[in-house]
Amino acid sequence: MKKILIAALCLATFAAQGQKDYTKYIRTTVGTDSEYILSHGNVLPFTARPWGMNHWTPQTAANGEPWQYVYDAYRIVGLKQTHQPSPWGGDYAMFSLMPTVGERKFLEKDRQSWFSHKTEKAMPHYYSVYLAEHFVHAEMSPTTRACMMRFTFSAGEQSNVVIDAFDNASYIKVIPEENKVVGYTTQYYHNGKRAPDNFKNYFVVRFNKPFREFEVWQNDGFVSQSEVTAKRTGVVVTFSTAQNERIEARIASSFISPEQAELNLKSEVGDKSFDQIVKEGRDEWNKYLSRFEVRDSKLDDLDNVRMFYTALYRMFIYPRTLFEYDATGKMMHYSPFNGQVLPGYMYTDNGYWDTFRAARPFFDLFFPEWSTGYLESLANVYKESGWLPEWISPGHVDAMIGSNSASIIASAYLNGIRNLDMATLWEAVDKMAHNAHPSISSVGRYGIKYYEQYGYIPSDVGVTEEVARTLEYAYADWCVAKVAQALGKDKQTVDAFAGRALNYKNVFNPKWKLMSQRDSKGNFATNFNPIAWNYGFTEGCSLHYSWSVFHDPKGLAALMGGDKAFVSKLDSVFLTPPAFDVSGYGGKVIHEVREMNIQDFGQYAHGNQPIQHMIYLYDWTSEPWKTQYWARQVMSRLYSPTSDGYCGDEDNGQTSAWYVFSALGLYPVNPGTGEYAIGSPLFREVVVTLPDGKKLTIGAPNNSDERLYVNKLTVNGQPYNKNYVTMKQIRGGGQMLFDMSAKPNTSRGTGEVARPYSMTDDKTLK
- DSSP notation for 312-337: HHHHHH-SEE-EEE-TTS-EEEE-TT
Percent of the chain with pLDDT over 70: 96
CATH code that applies to domain 44-288? 2.70.98.10
Query: In angstroms, what is the C-alpha Rg of the chain?
Result: 26
H-helix segments, 436-465: 448-454
**CA–CA gap between residue 368 and residue 425 (Å, rounded):** 17
Task: Say how many residues make up the chain.
Answer: 766
Give the residue among 480, 471, 425, 426 at the shortest CA–CA distance from 447.
Answer: 471
Please tell me the predicted confidence (pLDDT) of residue 157.
Answer: 79
Per-residue confidence at 4, pLDDT binned at 50, 70, 90?
A: very low
Say if residues 233 and 95 touch (Cβ distance below 8 Å). Answer: no
Does the pLDDT of residue 9 top 50, yes or no?
no
pLDDT digits (tens, 9 = 90+) for 275-330: 999 999 999 999 999 999 999 765 457 999 999 999 999 999 999 999 999 999 99
Does the pLDDT of residue 265 top 80, yes or no?
yes
Neighbour tally for 309: CB within 10 Å: 24
Lowest mean pLDDT among 5-9, 124-128, 702-706: 5-9
Which H or E element spans position 25? none
Say if residues 608 and 544 touch (Cβ distance below 8 Å). Answer: yes
Q: What residues are paired with 174 via a beta bridge?
A: 181
Does the pLDDT of residue 15 top 50, yes or no?
no
Residue 389: CA count within 13 A, CB half-sphere: 31
Arithmetic mean of pLDDT, 166-185:
95
pLDDT digits (tens, 9 = 90+) for 725-766: 999 999 999 999 999 999 999 999 999 999 999 999 999 997
**CA–CA gap between residue 159 and residue 179 (Å, rounded):** 15
pLDDT digits (tens, 9 = 90+) for 31-57: 999 999 999 999 999 999 999 999 999
Does the pLDDT of residue 399 top 70, yes or no?
yes
Per-residue confidence at 117, pLDDT binned at 50, 70, 90?
A: very high
Neighbour tally for 750: CB within 10 Å: 18
Say if residues 50 and 284 touch (Cβ distance below 8 Å). Answer: yes
Does the pLDDT of residue 11 top 50, yes or no?
no
Strands 675-678 and 666-667: antiparallel
**CA–CA gap between residue 111 and residue 215 (Å, rounded):** 14
pLDDT digits (tens, 9 = 90+) for 86-96: 999 889 999 99
Please tell me the predicted confidence (pLDDT) of residue 187.
Answer: 72
pLDDT digits (tens, 9 = 90+) for 455-512: 999 999 999 999 999 999 999 999 999 999 999 999 999 999 999 999 999 999 999 9
Does the pLDDT of residue 12 top 70, yes or no?
no
- For the chain, give the mean pLDDT: 95
Does the pLDDT of residue 19 top 60, yes or no?
no
Please tell me the predicted confidence (pLDDT) of residue 296.
Answer: 79
Arithmetic mean of pLDDT, 48-67:
96
pLDDT digits (tens, 9 = 90+) for 105-116: 999 999 999 999
pTM to 2 decimals? 0.96
10/615: higher pLDDT: 615
Give the residue among 656, 620, 624 at the shortest CA–CA distance from 744.
Answer: 624
Does the pLDDT of residue 190 top 90, yes or no?
no
Per-residue confidence at 152, pLDDT binned at 50, 70, 90?
A: very high
Please tell me the predicted confidence (pLDDT) of residue 766.
Answer: 77
DSSP 696-742: EEEE-TT--SS--EEEEEEETTEE---SEEEHHHHHT-EEEEEEEES
Please tell me the predicted confidence (pLDDT) of residue 155.
Answer: 85
Please tell me the predicted confidence (pLDDT) of residue 605.
Answer: 98
For the chain, give every residue range classified as CATH 2.70.98.10: 44-288
Arithmetic mean of pLDDT, 221-248:
96
